[in-house]
Amino acid sequence: MFDIQEELKKLPARPGVYIMHDEKDTIIYVGKAVSLRNRVRQYFQTSRNKGAKIESMVTHIARFEYIVTDSELEALVLECNLIKEHRPKYNTMLKDDKSYPFIKVTVNEAFPRVLFARRMKKDKAKYFGPYTSAGAVKDVIELVQKLYHIRTCNRNLPRDIGKERPCLFYHIHQCHGPCQGKVSQDEYRSQIQGALKFLNGDSDDIFRELEEKMLLASEELRFEDAMEYRDLCNSIRKIKERQKITSYGEEDKDVIAMAMEETDAVVQVFFIREGKLIGRDHFYLKVAQGDSRAQVLSSFLKQFYAGTPFIPREVMLQDEIEDGVIIQEWLTQRRGQRVYLRVPKKGTKEKLVELAAENAWMVLSKDKERIKREEGRTIGAVKEIESWIGLKGVQRIEAYDISNISGFESVGSMVVYEKGKPKRSDYRKFKIKWVQGPNDYASMEEVLTRRFTHESDKEYDSFALLPDLIMMDGGRGQVNVALKVLGNLNLQIPVCGMVKDDHHRTRGLYYRNQEIPIDTSSEGFRLITRIQDEAHRFAIEFHRSLRSKEQVHSVLDEIPGIGPARRKALMRKFKSLEAVRDASLEELIQTEAMNERSARQVYEFFHAIGKLGDEGS
């Protein structure tokens, strides 16, 4: 038994990371401290005003552990890693875990290439970025390859010169053919220098050159060439348009500002590289109750820069942050050069931060509107259903359906909706075991009995939560089946049924021995329809998968020498019976668990069927 008061006495006055666990041993909070003894004890001091978040968290702490580090900086790094790995409930969490692409120029190669890269490596290549749009990066790479005739192949040059034929790009004049020795290393390096200049933002020379070529081609009536040069000029204009906002100075900077309301926050980041705004992005954070702006922004910086390979020289912030000094030291260590965290108070830098803040508020405002609309479709719809049947506090709805063909492979489905949204992790499938033949009522009784018996036994975590409302895909009969099962298990859960019209469309709800009419143009009706369709879809998909497996078993079982192990190996490799039928003898022989004899038996079995079919036609 973990005795918190005894363990508090053992805490060292050293820097480190502390980890809080709840009664299920789930990590609910990770923090760092200059002194573990002082920091962790603060959580359990009754005289302190700890705030709503801490008060709530402390009531759930069953035990804690800690890791001692040599410095506060080491503690910060470890804290970042643990938060990212465990995503604790009471830590402010970055919802988006994005990685940004780079343009990589392999200047360390004899004949460099221009490539798309997801991360920076210490490989002596030159990187540009990060960029916020992977599509934009690919467009730029394609343009650079066209403008400067950069090779796209993966050949090892100069070792492989002349060993293979040139690729298509050589024949359409988009590559000068270094793989064939058609261009010297010095000439190719000159092309690469032009590409590097372009990627650094200096496109004036190439733009003028293309314009001159376009005009000359037009005068000589080479209109296709003129159109090609025109398109390249337009592509350059688009690239320059993306970089139209500039800041003073040539250094790399990130500009970070935040909009925050209650437990929602949006952080806007402007990426400035060599004085040019090359992109921007926004991030959503779920704010832990009671966290201040300084704490939230500090949490964002730790999570964001722990996951990005590029650290700029300067990070401009809207507000002062918690742990600013140690975070600046950590960023400096990660970059390998001095990094500055600054809160500009005047001039163009302050205006740039204000612009980022304005963008953050716009995103948050739009998101609030979207959430409001979404709540109308979900929570609002649930409230309408509550009003129709006179219930309150419906959070979790479970719906059930049965699928079979004349009693063959009868299955049941359970779908779950929480706050009007599907919770697919709680969906469950049932193979009917106790009922023979087509009997939907008996099959439903089995499904409900198995589901709620598991709940009563408390052996199955997936069934531990009881629904606030059960929806049956039928009227009085299905509802009575559910009430019978619940009564046998001494459970009291409201049950309603979906009453259908002559066209099998829901016209009302059956609840407490009466049919309740519903507004078929309402969000509540639409939610009922979605739940009904989802339960039906889930049951049918499960039924089809079982039928498909049964068909595979029945066909393959007819082939001599094909037992369960070989049948599984064939399906693991080929995925479907049709693919097994179409496989060549060599492919069958190469399948795990198969030998030449068994492969030949499978091959001849299906080809004999094919011949019989041809003769019959």
The angle subtended at Cα 167 by Cα 165 and Cα 168, nearest 5°, is 135
Q: With the CA atoms of 115, 121, 123 and 129 taken in that order, what torsion angle do they form, in degrees rounded to the nearest 10?
A: 50
Euclidean distance between CA atoms 510 and 476, whole angstroms? 7
Q: Is the peptide bond before 158 cis (omega within 30 degrees of 0)?
A: yes
Does the reported pTM lie above 0.85?
no
Q: With the CA atoms of 533, 537, 540 and 544 taken in that order, what torsion angle do they form, in degrees rounded to the nearest 10?
A: 160
Q: How far apart, in Å, are the Cα atoms of 178 and each of 145, 171, 182, 191? A: 14, 13, 5, 12
pLDDT of residue 246: 45
Structure tokens given for 46:
């009754």
Say if residues 569 and 579 touch (Cβ distance below 8 Å).
no
Tell me, what CATH number does 41's domain have? 3.40.1440.10
Both 390 and 528 in one domain: the answer is yes
Last residue of a domain, one of 90, 121, 156: 90
Tell me, what CATH number does 612's domain have? 1.10.150.20
Asked whether residue 548 is assigned to any structural domain, the reply reads: no
pLDDT of residue 128: 80
Say if residues 101 and 130 touch (Cβ distance below 8 Å).
yes
Residues 22-29: contacts with CB within 8 Å, 24+ apart? 22/60, 22/61, 22/62, 23/60, 23/62, 25/62, 25/63, 26/89, 27/82, 27/86, 27/88, 28/57, 28/60, 28/61, 28/88, 28/89, 28/90, 29/57, 29/88, 29/89, 29/90, 29/91
Asked whether residue 586 is assigned to any structural domain, the reply reads: yes
Residue linked to tokens 């804690």: 64
Please tell me the chain's helix, strand, coil percentages from 3-state DSSP, rounded to the nearest 5. Answer: 45, 20, 35
Both 436 and 364 in one domain: the answer is no
Say if residues 182 and 176 touch (Cβ distance below 8 Å).
yes
CA atoms within 13 A on the CB side of 489: 21
DSSP state string for 408-459: EEEEEEEEEEETTEE-GGG-EEEE--S--SS-HHHHHHHHHHHHHHHHHHT-
Residues in CB range of 442: below 8 A, 6 or more apart: 434, 435
Euclidean distance between CA atoms 48 and 166, whole angstroms? 75
Both 257 and 340 in one domain: the answer is yes
With b for 16 or more beta-carbon neighbours within 10 A and e for fewer, the 512-539 pattern comes to eeeeeebeeeebbbebbebbbebbbebb
Both 305 and 440 in one domain: the answer is no
Residues in CB range of 156: below 8 A, 6 or more apart: none
Both 120 and 234 in one domain: the answer is yes
Residues in CB range of 329: below 8 A, 6 or more apart: 73
Span between the terminal Cα atoms of the chain, in Å: 78
pLDDT of residue 231: 84
Asked whether residue 247 is assigned to any structural domain, the reply reads: no
Asked whether residue 547 is assigned to any structural domain, the reply reads: no
Both 123 and 174 in one domain: the answer is yes
Euclidean distance between CA atoms 532 and 529, whole angstroms? 5
DSSP state string for 539-575: HHHHHHHHHHHHHHHHHHTTSTT--HHHHHHHHHHH-
pLDDT of residue 229: 83
CA neighbor of 279 nearest in space, from 308, 319, 301: 308
Radius of gyration of the chain (CA): 33
- Residues with pLDDT less than 70, the chain: 47-50, 94-100, 130, 132, 239-250, 405-408, 455-462, 543, 546-554, 608-617
Asked whether residue 188 is assigned to any structural domain, the reply reads: yes
Both 146 and 221 in one domain: the answer is yes
Last residue of a domain, one of 220, 242, 264: 242
Three-state secondary structure call for residue 257: strand
Q: How far apart, in Å, are the Cα atoms of 120 and each of 33, 44, 288, 481? A: 31, 44, 32, 62
Residue linked to tokens 């709840």: 22
Structure tokens given for 473:
């895909």
Both 147 and 296 in one domain: the answer is no
Asked whether residue 423 is assigned to any structural domain, the reply reads: yes
pLDDT of residue 244: 45
pLDDT of residue 611: 46
Three-state secondary structure call for residue 219: helix
Structure tokens given for 418:
């929480």
Q: How far apart, in Å, are the Cα atoms of 161 and each of 114, 190, 399? A: 19, 19, 66
Q: What is the count of structural domains for the chain?
A: 5
Both 388 and 354 in one domain: the answer is no
CA atoms within 13 A on the CB side of 321: 24
Say if residues 112 and 302 touch (Cβ distance below 8 Å).
no
Both 12 and 133 in one domain: the answer is no
Asked whether residue 550 is assigned to any structural domain, the reply reads: no
Both 339 and 432 in one domain: the answer is no
Euclidean distance between CA atoms 274 and 246, whole angstroms? 9
Domain enclosing residue 220, as ranges: 102-242
Last residue of a domain, one of 508, 540, 572: 540
Q: Is the peptide bond before 178 cis (omega within 30 degrees of 0)?
A: no
Euclidean distance between CA atoms 105 and 118, whole angstroms? 13
Euclidean distance between CA atoms 577 and 562, whole angstroms? 14
Asked whether residue 378 is assigned to any structural domain, the reply reads: no
Both 196 and 326 in one domain: the answer is no
